[in-house]
Amino acid sequence: MNLGFSNLIWLMVVTAAGLFCLSLTLPSGFSGSQTHAPFLLTELLGDNAEVAWLIFIELRVPRASLALLMGASLGLAGAAMQGLLQNPLAEPGVVGVSGSAALGAALAFYTGLSALIPMALPLGGIVGAFIAVILLFTIAGKRADTATLLLAGIALNAIAGALTALVLNLAPNPFAAMEIIFWQMGSLADRSLLHLKIAGPLIVAGWVSILLAAPATRALSLGEVTAASLGINVRSTQLQIIVGTALCVGAGVAVTGVIGFVGLVVPHLLRRVCNHDPAQLMLASAGGGACLLLAADIAVRCIPANAELKLGVITALLGAPFFLYLIFQLRKLEQ
Amino acid sequence: MLSLNLSANNISCQLGSRLVLNNISFSAEPGQLTGIIGTNGAGKSTLLSILAGIQAKFDGNVNIGGERLQSFTLNDRARRVAYLPQNPKVHWDLNAQQVTELGRLPYRRWFNWLRQPDPVDEQAVATALVSTQCDGIAQRKVQSLSNGERMRIHLARVLAVQAPIILVDEPTSGLDPYQQIHCLELLRSQAQKGCTVLAALHDLDLAARFCDRLLLLHSDKILAFGAPAEVLTPANLMTAYRIAPPTQSNPRDLNLASWERQVD
């Protein structure tokens, strides 16, 4: 079936808008005090309108917006890294960028810096992500074969994991440690308008940087040398994607925690519809990622459980087997 | 089509500690197919990548149509010089048409990357596919094609640029004789249309048969430059390749199948 690229984008915009509105109407889960949570817009006009508006603006809007921003970031960054490294397994979570961003944010959190200056939280995430992307690129930059890429990912995840464990180990009290652990699982519950304000602009700046590089990734499907001969500035393309990924994934992870595998699954599902064109895939993956994360965040609020399921746990449960499946597929191709 | 000559003046290139090219000067004219020959590591690929503007670390200068190569913007350079590297690859599962369309990238503005190609681009792509006889396989995935078909697709991508200067690095490696001849016929026909074509070649028989001029590189210098018969002399071949014709043969016989490797 050939859907046509512009139709696909329209479909995604409409779907994302629908899911966004649906997300706004849902209470924050079965664990929350849902009896007082307004379920539908009508309550915003009812007797308790003031409280309802407060919940709506302070909790619902940030949650739905962050789902939209983070989903689009993960889809976009995943497709961009895949285009740059010419490998379908490149994904912020798999290669350790999300983990490093989480470490950076945890440090900002742990040192108390983020309590003093709210911006320290996303900045910590961005610095962590930036270091990870630079390292990844140094190790696996030129024509990354699957083995090199995955080894680099293992190493970066191990370093980030070890340092995060150190932070937890040194945590002043068990509650602080618990807080970091829960936050790291990746969730959009109880994020405030402040989180949206500090992360939102940085995330959007990251998108701009990545999308500026989109046409060049098309040429990169013929390799760096041919791309250069076609008038592409390969260096600046690399830099745009590195900076863009660090900005949107770093700032995003800093407020939502690690939400893995979105950047892996979404581009894979959409690649065929985009005729394998890396540039179209980037835009489509941004839309697809936003839809997926909005839908997943609605799902975690509808699944009855003692404690609300964390979004990152759900995406990992679904994404990790998919990752394994992709590795099997690639191995078959490489043989 | 615009015709431009290509001249290299005092090109020297050091990669790491090794001097790859030492004071190379020559010029290639429109309408001619110039073959660059020499042993493995003689500097053929380095020379081509310098001429294409890919390798920026070198001394001397390259002029195209009398203007310095470095003075062009990236897009302007890409429109004038089309380049096919050694062992070209396609990383995603693109079809032949998509790969050929990438040859039109130097003409596209970054903001219209989502739009369909305009009629001029479409015409250039269609012409390139027809002249490489790839029109029948345009919708096939490149990964599913044979080596010969793949090379023709890459040539189609190069032709789609419609550049007055075409540089190709060992286009015939790994191809069967039919495809080798086909490939060189294509390059020669481009030269006859007014392009300046340079090709690095390993097969001296093919080089002698198809090229108008040959440039023989040996230990970082030009050993000989001229018509094939002037360049492919037993003395030059002995110096550069250390091969010699069998003793009882016509010294002008370029059928290298019977030549022998010289042992020190």
Instruction: Give the closest residue to A277 by CA, choosing from B37, B225, B91, B2.
Output: B91
Contacts of A86 in chain B (CB under 8 A): 91-92
Residue B249's pLDDT band (boundaries 50, 70, 90)?
A: low
What is the rounded distance in angstroms from the CA atom of residue B175 to the CA atom of residue B189?
A: 19
Q: Which value, to the nearest 10 degrees, does the dihedral of the CA atoms of residues B69, B72, B74, B77 take?
A: -60
Contacts of A232 in chain B (CB under 8 A): 74, 105
Q: ipTM value of the model?
A: 0.90
Q: What mean pLDDT comes out for the span A228-239?
A: 89
Instruction: Give the closest residue to A68 by CA, choosing from A20, A8, A14.
Output: A20
Shortest Cα distance, chain A CAs vs residue B195, angstroms: 17
Instruction: Give the closest residue to B94 by CA, choosing from A289, A83, A233, A323.
Output: A83
Judge: A283–B92 Cβ closer than 8 Å, yes or no: no
Q: Which residue's entry shows tokens 């949206």? A: A196
Judge: A86–B92 Cβ closer than 8 Å, yes or no: yes
Q: What is the pLDDT of residues B129-178, one digit of tens each?
A: 998 888 889 899 998 898 889 999 999 999 999 999 999 999 998 888 88
Instruction: Give the closest residue to A74 by CA, choosing from A200, A207, A187.
Output: A207
Q: What is the mean pLDDT of chain A?
A: 85
User: A85 to chain B: nearest residue by CA?
Assistant: B91
Q: What is the pLDDT of residues A274-325, one digit of tens each?
A: 889 898 899 999 999 999 999 999 988 887 777 778 888 888 888 889 888 8
Contacts of A286 in chain B (CB under 8 A): none
Residue B189's pLDDT band (boundaries 50, 70, 90)?
A: very high
Alpha-carbon distance values, A25 to A43, A53, A58, A301, B186 (Å) = 10, 12, 13, 11, 65
> Percentages helix, strand, coil for chain B, rounded to the nearest 5?
40, 25, 35
Per DSSP, the three-state class of B217 is strand
Statement: residue A70 has pLDDT above 70: yes
Shortest Cα distance, chain B CAs vs residue A163, angstroms: 36
Judge: B98–A276 Cβ closer than 8 Å, yes or no: yes
CATH numbers and ranges of domains, chain A: 5-334 (1.10.3470.10)
Least confident of A187-196, A263-272, B162-171: A187-196
Judge: A231–B79 Cβ closer than 8 Å, yes or no: yes
Instruction: Give the closest residue to B256 by CA, choosing from B214, B200, B209.
Output: B209
Return the number of CB contacts < 8 Å for A and B: 83
What is the rounded distance in angstroms from the CA atom of residue B8 to the CA atom of residue A327?
A: 48
Residue from the list B81, B99, B113 with its beta carbon closest to the beta carbon of A215: B113
Judge: B79–A280 Cβ closer than 8 Å, yes or no: no
User: B74 to chain A: nearest residue by CA?
Assistant: A231
User: B113 to chain A: nearest residue by CA?
Assistant: A215
Alpha-carbon distance values, A61 to A24, A70, A177, A198, A297 (Å) = 6, 14, 28, 14, 13
The reported pLDDT for the residue numbered A76 is 96
Question: Within A170-273, where are the H helices?
Answer: 174-184, 193-212, 214-220, 224-229, 234-256, 262-270
What is the rounded distance in angstroms from the CA atom of residue B214 to the CA atom of residue B229?
A: 9
Q: Which residues contact B89 (CB under 8 A, 6 or more apart)?
A: A222, A223
Shortest Cα distance, chain B CAs vs residue A232, angstroms: 7
Judge: B88–A226 Cβ closer than 8 Å, yes or no: yes
